[in-house]
Chain A
Amino acid sequence: MVGRILLAFAFYYPLSMAWVWIFGALTYYLRRERNAPSRGLPPELPFWPKATLVVPCHNEGDNVRETLEYLATQVYPDFEIIAINDGSRDNTGDILDELTAVYPQLRVLHFPKNQGKAMGLSMAALASNSEYLICIDGDALLDRYATRWLMWHLLSGERVGAVTGNPRIRNRSSLLGRLQVGEFSSIIGLIKRAQRTSGRIFTVSGVIAGFRRTALHQIGYWSKDMVTEDIDVSWRLQMNHWDIRYEPNALCWILMPETIRGLWKQRLRWAQGGAEVSRRYLKSLLIWRRRRMWPVMFEYLLSVIWSYNMLGILVLSFAGTVIPMPPWLYVAGPIPTWFGAILGTTCIIQFLFSILIDRRYEDRIGRQFVWIIWYPLVYWILGMLTTVVGVPKAFFKRTGTRAVWDSPDRGIR
């Protein structure tokens, strides 16, 4: 009996979520995307206030020239760039100072010691001469029209506190790189669309997001002690009734890990971050005025339960091969035979649907999907393992511990 319940949840949860994402993304596509102008023709803005483009950097000597080159060519009439050299031990600081002579819009904040991304962003907000902040990472390349797309949202509603863009994977040399292309398209892209449809978003993408400074001011800016400052700021903004939007035309080209170790470290940080945020805000969400955040929290909690459920199944399956198990604890295996065909079909429908949507933004995206057939399995397994490890890390972390930079794996160059 227990085994059957565990198996049923293991199967029905990912199946249900896949269809929720597909239906949600389809609604978004029909309502907001199908007839939207193309990327290169962003809507006219009612006025053109100054925007501050913020780039926190830690040991970005190899990337920051290209990053700033892209920022300097934004199709937007009035902007400044604030780069933060956060305790870099390479030549990032020298390069940034050198580039101030090349780009008149560029200003640089040097932190002699590593203070973390949240501190860098907060200080940029303090130094900014604008109400609007467009934040990207030091190794990311912002598409030339992205600032205008993000500003369009920030100017179109008084309660729009943030807008998240559309990260696209640059490095595709290895199987892991290509898998993440598919993941960002078929899973993360669909989730963002579905969540936007439901009214609240789990998180902005830390690598590309625009913010209204007044909204950040109201919530006290970024938290310095959360490992994922993007999830934290997204929850606090929405808990304070600021809207967060998603703009798929605001493209940002990013580097992702191409080693298993790098991927594991990144995903573990994400899992820990989700758990930290839930732990901190769960109680304060339980009031009627914050009901719009309930689906986000519910979905997150279900995913955590599913992860531990899968762990239970694996343990029981393994135990059943070694010792005789009582019938009520017997688990045959993680994938019920007949239902596999339904999961396989769902997976292909999800892929095809995301290819159809993503064709607007990138040429030949479909060819990447040949490689990602095993990604749904990897996605759920990786999600399970990082959650199982990340949740206890979040719960046993000492409160107030500062989160500082740790240079990530940036793939094959």
Chain B
Amino acid sequence: MRAESPIISSPEKQSRLQKFASLAITILAWSLWAYLWLPTLSVISAVFGLPINQILVVRRPDETSLLLIFLIMLASNFVVSVWSSYNYVRFAKRSRRRRPNSASHEEVGKLFGIDDPATLSLLSEGRSLSLYFDDAGRLVKVDGASAKTAPQ
């Protein structure tokens, strides 16, 4: 089941110049991509003795480099497979460490410097609260009457 996508597509909000530039860049990029294939075409044309060979930049493929590329791809796959299998076998099926007890509201409050049960209760129940901090970022006051925004 695919998502009902709330996509925003308003190409009409772009200027003609922007649209033209996008199209031109994309065509240029595909041309560059096609250009990357010239050496391959050269080799093919050389094999079949086609005249196209004359107009292309021909560079004989370096067998050592190609072999190296193949080995790198193989090694990448091997390393990923070994490491992921190791992780899967050793860690996926069982927890090697126990989960600590759930942090209570009081413990969480204590970590943020709030010991007062009334403040903790206000924080967990208030619908609209204002929180004030000192310059070091410590929570210093919780107010049930909303202050909303203040100009900075």
CB distance from B80 to the nearest CB of A (A): 5
Q: Is residue A19 within 8 Å, beta carbon to beta carbon, of the partner chain? A: yes
CB distance from B131 to the nearest CB of A (A): 6
Chain A residue nearest to B85 (CB atoms) is A27
Q: Is residue B54 within 8 Å, beta carbon to beta carbon, of the partner chain? A: no
Q: How far is the CA of A113 from the CA of B14 in the complex (A)?
A: 36
Q: A97-B146, A174-B22, A253-B5 are in contact. Are A412 and B10 (CB under 8 A)?
A: yes
Complex contacts, B30 vs chain A, CB 8 Å: 373
Q: Is residue A396 within 8 Å, beta carbon to beta carbon, of the partner chain? A: no
Q: Is residue A366 within 8 Å, beta carbon to beta carbon, of the partner chain? A: no
Chain A residue nearest to B22 (CB atoms) is A175
CB distance from A86 to the nearest CB of B (A): 10
- Stretch from A87-95, A263-271, A318-326 that touches the partner: A87-95
A94 engages B39 (CB within 8 Å): no
Q: Is residue B67 within 8 Å, beta carbon to beta carbon, of the partner chain? A: no
A97 engages B148 (CB within 8 Å): yes
Q: How far is the CA of A223 from the CA of B139 in the complex (A)?
A: 15
A157 engages B95 (CB within 8 Å): yes
Q: Which of A16, A108, A411 contacts B129 (CB 8 A)?
A: A108
Q: Which of A92, A97, A126, A338 contacts B114 (CB 8 A)?
A: A126
Q: Mark A114-142, 1 if CB is under 8 A from B, else 0.
A: 11000100110111110100000000010
Chain A residue nearest to B148 (CB atoms) is A93
A122 engages B87 (CB within 8 Å): no
A115 engages B37 (CB within 8 Å): no
CB distance from A153 to the nearest CB of B (A): 13
Q: Is residue A168 within 8 Å, beta carbon to beta carbon, of the partner chain? A: yes
Complex contacts, B152 vs chain A, CB 8 Å: 87, 89, 113-114
Number of interface residues of B (CB under 8 A): 83
- Stretch from A33-41, A184-192, A272-280, A384-392 that touches the partner: A33-41
B2 engages A39 (CB within 8 Å): yes
Q: How far is the CA of A349 from the CA of B3 in the complex (A)?
A: 25
Complex contacts, A174 vs chain B, CB 8 Å: 11, 14, 18, 22
Q: Is residue A360 within 8 Å, beta carbon to beta carbon, of the partner chain? A: yes
Complex contacts, A131 vs chain B, CB 8 Å: 102
B8 engages A111 (CB within 8 Å): no
Q: Is residue B72 within 8 Å, beta carbon to beta carbon, of the partner chain? A: yes
Q: Is residue A12 within 8 Å, beta carbon to beta carbon, of the partner chain? A: yes
Complex contacts, A363 vs chain B, CB 8 Å: 2, 5
B14 engages A129 (CB within 8 Å): no
Q: Is residue A62 within 8 Å, beta carbon to beta carbon, of the partner chain? A: no
Number of interface residues of A (CB under 8 A): 94
B7 engages A344 (CB within 8 Å): no
Q: Mark A152-169, 1 if CB is under 8 A from B, else 0.
A: 000001110000000010
Chain B 109-136 residues near chain A, CB threshold 8 A: 109, 111-112, 114, 123-124, 126-133
Chain B residue nearest to A411 (CB atoms) is B8
Q: Is residue A220 within 8 Å, beta carbon to beta carbon, of the partner chain? A: yes
Q: Which of A175, A214, A338 contacts B101 (CB 8 A)?
A: A214
Complex contacts, A129 vs chain B, CB 8 Å: 105, 124
CB distance from A84 to the nearest CB of B (A): 9
B59 engages A338 (CB within 8 Å): yes
Complex contacts, A88 vs chain B, CB 8 Å: 149
Complex contacts, B150 vs chain A, CB 8 Å: 87, 112-113
B83 engages A15 (CB within 8 Å): no
Q: Is residue A393 within 8 Å, beta carbon to beta carbon, of the partner chain? A: no
Q: A20-B76, A113-B150 are in contact. Are A126 and B7 (CB under 8 A)?
A: no
Q: A110-B149, A224-B137 are in contact. Are A213 and B103 (CB under 8 A)?
A: yes
CB distance from A111 to the nearest CB of B (A): 6
Complex contacts, A159 vs chain B, CB 8 Å: 95, 97, 99
Q: How far is the CA of A243 from the CA of B90 in the complex (A)?
A: 13
Q: How far is the CA of A295 from the CA of B83 in the complex (A)?
A: 9
B128 engages A197 (CB within 8 Å): no
Complex contacts, B3 vs chain A, CB 8 Å: 39, 143, 168, 251, 361-362
B77 engages A19 (CB within 8 Å): yes
Q: Is residue A292 within 8 Å, beta carbon to beta carbon, of the partner chain? A: yes
Complex contacts, A251 vs chain B, CB 8 Å: 3
Q: How far is the CA of A132 from the CA of B19 in the complex (A)?
A: 45
CB distance from A226 to the nearest CB of B (A): 13
Question: Can you list 14 A-B pairs with a CB-CB distance of less than 8 A?
Answer: A39-B3, A41-B1, A114-B152, A127-B123, A173-B9, A174-B11, A197-B87, A213-B108, A217-B107, A220-B111, A241-B97, A339-B69, A340-B39, A377-B29
Which residues of A are in contact with B by a Cβ distance under 8 Å? 12, 15-16, 19-20, 23-24, 27, 31, 38-41, 85, 87-89, 92-94, 96-97, 100, 106-115, 119, 122-123, 125-129, 131, 141, 143, 157-159, 168, 170-175, 194, 197-199, 213-214, 217-218, 220-221, 224, 241, 243, 251, 253, 255, 292, 295, 337-344, 347, 360-363, 370-371, 373-374, 377, 402, 411-413
